[in-house]
Structure 1
Amino acid sequence: MSTLSSSDAAPDAPAAQPAPAAAGFRPPNLALTTVGLALASFMQVLDTTIANVSLPTISGNLGGSANQATWVITSFAVSNAIALPLTGWLARRFGERKLFMWSTLAFVFASFLCGIANSMGLLVAARALQGFVAGPMYPVTQALLLSIYPPAKRGQAIALLAMVTVVAPIAGPILGGWITDNYSWEWIFFINVPIGIFASVVVGRQLKGRPERLEMPRMDYIGLATLVLGVGALQILLDLGNDEDWFHSTTIVVLAIIAAIALTVFVIWELTDKDPIVNLRLFRHRNFSAGTAAMVIAYAAFFSVGILVPLWLQRNLGYTAIWAGFATAPIGILPVLLTPFVGKYAHRFDLRLLASLAFVAMAMTSFARSYFNLDVDFQSIATIQLLQGLGVALFFMPVLSILLSDLEPHEIAAGSGLATFMRTLGGSFAASITTYAWSERGAVHHAHLTEKVSAYDPAAVDAVTRIGGGDLQTGAATLERMITNQAAQIGFNEIFHMLGIIFLVVIAFVWIAKPPFAAKAGPAAGGH
């Protein structure tokens, strides 16, 4: 199962510090307001993983290929990443209350469009819209939650939000599988409609009259345009590459040129503009650079695990969507149990050591999966998922603390936002690359395995006939399915062996950072 995802929603998404005027405001019903904010956050985070186990069903119903099915995930993630840097500008321009209400209602509308989509193209477009409008939801939810609680209880409020963001990705595959098996995949999106309307109406009414200071901030239009063009072209290139035969296709070449030019202009512009939409100058800080590299690479590998395992369970082991959800869900048990303790006691230890333990745990579980075969049982799969949860529990908080530790107070908001932006993009790109690599390695091994079978070998013909119960055609079809499955399994094992190596390599980035790792006093996040 996937992740803590994107804006996703890990507790490290950018959030604005409440303005002094808003900090003294209390809604008529604090509990009801908290429920509304938590539900919106839960709904948005849930949608980063709820579709994972439903991909085979969705692609089958809409006539899409296995590679096209991943567009349902990547379109959401890349649009979400692009929208994240806009959060600060939108909050200052329209106010946090209105931004929450309208982004939540827009998410409801996009979810409805996902549910009524009757082609893969329409679904991917609706998911892209859904991801884009979801960008501000988590950061502004965190900002509103901070503003309605007194300072002494803000820690509890953030702990509640962190728990929601840990539980939602666990519930996603199970809920998605149950809905897909018992109703239809469209309802994994339709369920957002009543939840989102309720959350928007409740929070809008409860926070009516909340004082906010509106501004007319300058928008970095060139930065935004080159970001959208460059990242969008690169993601489309990765998604279409396999189907278009990569650089033998004019389309892919054109996309590569557009991405290269747009991203080059973006980097140069952001490094020279006085108010950039993404502050790339933060990479001058050693701990921020090392921590962000570790966060992006490790999260990309982690996201790949969350995409591959549910697909493998259904396509190669014959699991239903709900049982794929049950098999992957144990990854969330240890994070739920350990996250409060990690947050409380982590700073008593060297955070580099805790992060290293996280990556070792993720590497060992990846290596364990590289030895799976087509006869592996449910208990073995679930146990490995459970053990990987130890890595998840020790991953996010220590690495986030490291990357924020040497930023100046006024840079912490932008640093948190930039790290979240890059992490979300890393997950999106990894999903495309990993599914392509699995497909490619499966094809290579299929070719190698079929070389061993010759129609001119009497012994081989006899064996194939026996497989088919005396019928050569039936036997050939059965053998083809067996070879395809085995080839996919070998490719799966190779990819997980590589993911294990990647997790171990990431440890080196963590140890480039230098203590102390206590963040300087400053806003928790915010802005762009």
Structure 2
Amino acid sequence: MDTPAPLKGKSLVLGTIALSLATFMNVLDTSIANVSLSAIAGDLGVSPEQGTWVITSFAVANAISLPLTGWLTQRYGQVRLFTASVLLFVLASIACGLAPSIELLIFFRIVQGAVAGPMIPLSQTLLLASYPKEKAGTALAMWSMTTLVAPVAGPLLGGWITDNISWPWIFYINVPVGLGAAAVTWMIYRKRETATRKLPIDAVGLGLLIVFVGALQIMLDKGKDLDWFHSGTIIALAVVAALGLALFIVWELTDEHPVVDLRLFKRRNFTMGALALSLGYGVFFGNVVLLPLWLQQYMGYTATLAGFALAPVGLLAVLLSPVVGKNVSKVDPRIFATIAFVIFGVVMFMRSHFNTQVDLTTIMIPTVVQGAAMAFFFIPLVTLTLSGIAPAQLPAASGLSNFMRITAGSFGTSISTTLWDHRATFHHAQLAEKLTVYDPTTTQALANMQASGMTPDQALATLNRMIDQQAALLSATDIFYASALLFLALVGVVWLTKPAKAAAASEAAAGAH
């Protein structure tokens, strides 16, 4: 089939808006629930830590479905698959909003994540086909803006909806956006459908992928509740994950049509670039989830205020991304990636000095600075990861690196919340040891509280809440400090890659978001 001519006039404008809205809706759903976790958990009667499954379930399902995009596209066509993906996403969003229990909500988030897999890579592919080749950079810049604005809008919108309406509406708002995007996309692009052909599906590889990633994610999420390896369930999950991974590697390296092309790891740039991208994103996303949880549970922030504290992250990202995109072919992308990790490290060091009296302005300053790191993070690292890869292998390489990145983000969420709880327990025990009836400061504090009208039990409960708040802060700052060190260590990983130019990877760069 001949490549269709670029779109013009009203069709180009409407097509760009429709594809961008679908992308915006998808990316929005990765961040909009972050500030609503406390409300969701409270409404459904579970702990906020269990509520993080609402985020991780979506991310894992989304990551697993990504490698299938190439096969599904050849089987059903780009336009049909994209439109179906958007409509199914809308249906799953409605089901999420109606879910009466955490179990059903997690199930529908898994469905939502699974059907969302093809949306981002196909929106970018259709958009590039809509513009002349010489305007590809402009198309990618416009596309990237939606993926950078969504994380800004997500916390603000999620917080406002949670405080002023109710949390199910963070899912219901997808309905008009999704229906509009699907209708306009079908109207404009249905005559530009790609050729289809029947291909065998690597069902065994896909099954093993689901088993090992699913078992590992459940192990990370349930480990804290079940006392880790003192539990037979956790040991069994670890064994299943390890066996699943081993069998998956063997099968994918020997199958004729693997669902994931592991041979890409023979390339040093792909291996080191994908590793830096995934680990960096995992640490970043774990902190993105942790910060609003701490603000709402221990600092008295509403969902709206927590969203407001997180929103400025996109300001510098939006301003600097076009500059980075324009210069990534002129400057060694390893320099840009190094700048990103150094800024991320500085941001985490700033947060590691927070205290229980920290004000909103102090919280927002590192958030604003973090936006600069985001601008220097995605494009250069994707450029390095995909450099030197043949055009025919770009979809597989982009799919695999995205799978690694999104999975790492999900694991980062589970690990950061688990460590936060573990370190808080440790700090609580240490602080409580120093507060005894023989300590004059403790005795004086309890006496002052009782003098203000509290009973002895109320005074002790108040003191315990103060210890809880301080322990949660110390635990969070421990994680921020460790994250800073990890980001700086990733600079070394970046410089294990070879110098790369953007030319070979420019058409896949947007997919990293």
| 1:475 equivalent in structure 2 | 459
Which digits, 9 at most, give the CA deviation of each residue in 1:329-355, with x for residues without a partner? 111100100111110013322221211
Distance 1:479 1:366 in 2: 29
Query: 3-state SS of the aligned residue for 2:499?
Result: coil
| Kept after mapping to 2: 8 A contact 1:414/1:526 | no
**Match 1:76 to one of 47, 58, 75:** 58
Deviation at 1:269, TM superposition (A): 1.0
Could you tell me which amino acid in structure 2 is paired with residue 263 of structure 1?
A: L
Could you tell me which amino acid in structure 1 is paired with residue 75 of structure 2?
A: R
Deviation at 1:262, TM superposition (A): 1.0
Instruction: Flag the 1:29–1:408 CA change in 2: closer, same or farther, 3 A.
Output: closer
Deviation at 1:357, TM superposition (A): 1.1
RMSD: 2.0
| Kept after mapping to 2: 8 A contact 1:244/1:252 | yes
Query: 3-state SS of the aligned residue for 1:348?
Result: coil
Instruction: Flag the 1:362–1:288 CA change in 2: closer, same or farther, 3 A.
Output: same
Q: State yes or no: 1:362 paired with 2:362.
A: no
Could you tell me which amino acid in structure 1 is paired with residue 232 of structure 2?
A: T
Instruction: Flag the 1:286–1:457 CA change in 2: closer, same or farther, 3 A.
Output: closer
| Kept after mapping to 2: 8 A contact 1:22/1:212 | no
Which digits, 9 at most, give the CA deviation of each residue in 1:133-185, with x for residues without a partner? 11111111111112222323333222211111110111000010111111111
| 2:398 equivalent in structure 1 | 416
Which digits, 9 at most, give the CA deviation of each residue in 1:405-427, with x for residues without a partner? 13233322221111111000000
Distance 2:58 2:433 in 1: 40
Instruction: Flag the 1:265–1:123 CA change in 2: closer, same or farther, 3 A.
Output: same
| 1:155 equivalent in structure 2 | 137
Instruction: Flag the 1:526–1:22 CA change in 2: closer, same or farther, 3 A.
Output: farther
Instruction: Flag the 1:466–1:251 CA change in 2: closer, same or farther, 3 A.
Output: same
Q: State yes or no: 1:87 paired with 2:69.
A: yes
| 2:159 equivalent in structure 1 | 177
Could you tell me which amino acid in structure 1 is paired with residue 151 of structure 2?
A: P
Deviation at 1:458, TM superposition (A): 8.0
| 2:423 equivalent in structure 1 | 441
Distance 1:123 1:152 in 2: 45
Distance 1:398 1:522 in 2: 10
Instruction: Flag the 1:27–1:228 CA change in 2: closer, same or farther, 3 A.
Output: farther
Distance 2:506 2:335 in 1: 26
Q: State yes or no: 1:57 paired with 2:39.
A: yes
Which digits, 9 at most, give the CA deviation of each residue in 1:411-457, with x for residues without a partner? 22221111111000000001001000000000111111111223576
Give runs of aligned pairs for residues 110-509 of structure 1, distance below 5 A. 110-455=92-437, 460-461=442-443, 463-468=445-450, 469-470=452-453, 471-509=455-493
Which digits, 9 at most, give the CA deviation of each residue in 1:380-422, with x for residues without a partner? 1111111111111111111111111132333222211111110
Distance 1:159 1:197 in 2: 25
| Kept after mapping to 1: 8 A contact 2:70/2:396 | no
Identify which range, 136-145 or 475-484, moves more after superposition: 136-145
Could you tell me which amino acid in structure 1 is paired with residue 288 of structure 2?
A: G
Instruction: Flag the 1:521–1:316 CA change in 2: closer, same or farther, 3 A.
Output: closer
Query: 3-state SS of the aligned residue for 2:328?
Result: helix
| Kept after mapping to 1: 8 A contact 2:80/2:193 | no
Instruction: Flag the 1:45–1:518 CA change in 2: closer, same or farther, 3 A.
Output: closer
Give runs of aligned pairs for residues 501-520 of structure 1, distance below 5 A. 501-520=485-504
Could you tell me which amino acid in structure 1 is paired with residue 132 of structure 2?
A: P
Instruction: Flag the 1:496–1:458 CA change in 2: closer, same or farther, 3 A.
Output: closer
Distance 1:499 1:201 in 2: 43
Could you tell me which amino acid in structure 2 is paired with residue 253 of structure 1?
A: I
| Kept after mapping to 1: 8 A contact 2:383/2:505 | no
Could you tell me which amino acid in structure 2 is paired with residue 318 of structure 1?
A: G
**Match 1:44 to one of 3, 26, 29:** 26
| 1:12 equivalent in structure 2 | none
| Kept after mapping to 2: 8 A contact 1:110/1:126 | yes
Distance 1:431 1:176 in 2: 18
Could you tell me which amino acid in structure 2 is paired with residue 248 of structure 1?
A: H
| 1:13 equivalent in structure 2 | none
Identify which range, 360-369 or 343-352, moves more after superposition: 343-352
Deviation at 1:516, TM superposition (A): 3.7
> What TM-score do the two structures reach when normalised by structure 1?
0.93
Number of positions where the alignment pairs a residue of Structure 1 with one of Structure 2 = 509
> What TM-score do the two structures reach when normalised by structure 2?
0.95
Query: 3-state SS of the aligned residue for 2:495?
Result: helix
Distance 1:59 1:190 in 2: 18
Which digits, 9 at most, give the CA deviation of each residue in 1:280-324, with x for residues without a partner? 111111111111111111111111121111111111211111111
Distance 1:524 1:396 in 2: 11
Instruction: Flag the 1:56–1:522 CA change in 2: closer, same or farther, 3 A.
Output: closer
Distance 2:401 2:442 in 1: 56
Could you tell me which amino acid in structure 1 is paired with residue 372 of structure 2?
A: L
Which stretches of structure 1, 4 residues or more, deviate above 6 A after TM superposition? 25-28, 456-459
| 1:102 equivalent in structure 2 | 84
Distance 2:66 2:479 in 1: 30
| Kept after mapping to 2: 8 A contact 1:409/1:523 | no
Identify which range, 382-391 or 512-521, moves more after superposition: 512-521
| 1:16 equivalent in structure 2 | none
Distance 1:237 1:413 in 2: 31
Instruction: Flag the 1:205–1:255 CA change in 2: closer, same or farther, 3 A.
Output: same
Distance 1:248 1:58 in 2: 30
Could you tell me which amino acid in structure 1 is paired with residue 216 of structure 2?
A: L
Distance 2:337 2:39 in 1: 37
Identical pairs, percent: 49
Could you tell me which amino acid in structure 2 is paired with residue 373 of structure 1?
A: N
| Kept after mapping to 2: 8 A contact 1:410/1:522 | no
Distance 1:458 1:502 in 2: 41
Distance 1:465 1:526 in 2: 61
Instruction: Flag the 1:503–1:206 CA change in 2: closer, same or farther, 3 A.
Output: same
